Amino acid sequence: MLRSVILAASRSSRVERLVETAPLTRDVVHRFIAGVTADDALHTTRDLVGSGLAVTLDHLGEDTVTPDQATAIKDEYLAMLAALGGAGLTPAAEVSVKLSALGQKFDEQLAYDLARQICVAASNAGTTVTLDMEDHTTTDSTLEILAKLRLDYPTTGAVLQAYLRRTEADCRELATLGSRVRLCKGAYKEPESVAFQSALDVDKSYVRCMNILMSGEGYPMLATHDPRLIAIGEDRARWFDRSPDAFEFQLLHGVRPDEQLRLSGEGYTVRVYVPYGTDWYGYMMRRLAERPANLLFFARAVKSR
């Protein structure tokens, strides 16, 4: 119920204006994002890579409405990839891209063209791109664009969301040689017709999808903070004889940092998803919706003012 309310608020421009101007916002936002500038993101990336973690950088922004906005976001990615390459942070750091930020909702061809330019820049910088997955109305389009990009840039990563009923079938399609697939639970408010609604059903689907990916031929990227799913991931790695460099765990910046270091200390590849930029509202609201403790953190910040 609370999750639904917060996710609904994440789509409201009125609530967005209220939250953005609230005095507490800075502290809360800085827990989850690296900062607003590219320099902030590079600084955080350097620290994380220095402590043995891999990174995927997300330039915040989604649902752009003009070609100029979409092109500006593509330019941000190109500049960031050049900076990462120049700083010797590749291939440890890659980038995550939301196609809706590149115009997918009004011009799919434009989104493909811009994503392709980001793949070219990533390849020149010696690293890769992962296409984030957004709400279910975009899944087919995102997987189609992924398939086209992978013809020339086969390491382009996909994201599949365990809460969608279709995802087991998508995992089977994508568990092929050379394919990189991030498996997450899913962060959007989705109707029962397309998505499991109970946490238990989502978790069970996650395990079924994980089994398909870990027993397949691709490179699974297990994105979760859930201790039980992480333990099952470690178990499946042993069961399917996957060495620590044949799959990875992924966690969000600011979430369970001790666990990030513990897993890395065990020898696993651990990639931290690091968002940066000014357009943080939708991202932060999805994080608040995921976990009541994040809301408590939010409330404490209000009280302390």
- Catalytic positions, written as ranges: 132, 182
Residues near 273 by Cβ (< 8 Å), separated by ≥ 6?
Answer: 55, 56, 58, 96, 223, 250, 251, 252, 253
Task: In angstroms, give the least distance from the CB of 191 to ligand FAD.
Answer: 15
Please report, for residues 6, 136, 143, 239, 300, the alpha-carbon distance to residue 272 in angstroms, rounded to integers and kept in the order given.
24, 24, 23, 25, 26
Q: Does 161 bind ligand FAD (CB under 6 A)?
A: yes
Q: Say if residues 221 and 214 touch (Cβ distance below 8 Å).
A: no
Pick 237 or 241: Cβ nearer ligand FAD: 237
Site for ligand FAD (CB under 6 A): which residue of 50, 291, 292, 296? 291
State which amino acid sits at residue 233.
G
97 sits near ligand FAD (criterion: CB under 6 A): no
Using the minimum distance from each CB to ligand FAD, give the nearer residue, 185 or 236. Answer: 185
Rounded CA separation 173/106 (Å):
27
Residues 162-201 that bind ligand FAD (CB under 6 A): 184-188
One symbol per residue from 13 to 42: x for binding ligand FAD (CB under 6 A), - otherwise; what is it? ------------------------------
DSSP string over 158-191: EEEETTBTTHHHHHHHH-STT-EEEEE---S---
Give the nearer residue to ligand FAD in terms of CB position, either 74 or 185. Answer: 185
Which candidate, 271, 10, 288, 283, places its Cα nearest to that of 157? 271
Site string for ligand FAD, 238-257 (x = CB under 6 A): ------------xxx--xx-
Per CB under 6 A, 99 contacts ligand FAD: no
Residue 61 to residues 229, 257, 280: CA-CA distances in angstroms? 29, 24, 7
Cis, bond preceding 91 (omega within 30 deg of 0): yes
Using the rule CB under 6 A, give the single segment among 47-55, 65-73, 137-145, 223-231 that binds ligand FAD. 223-231
Determine if 225 is a binding residue for ligand FAD (CB under 6 A). Answer: yes
- If one asks whether residue 207 binds ligand FAD (CB under 6 A), the answer comes out as no
Instruction: Catalog residues that contact ligand FAD under the rule CB under 6 A.
Output: 132-133, 159, 161, 184-188, 223-227, 250-252, 255-256, 273, 290-291
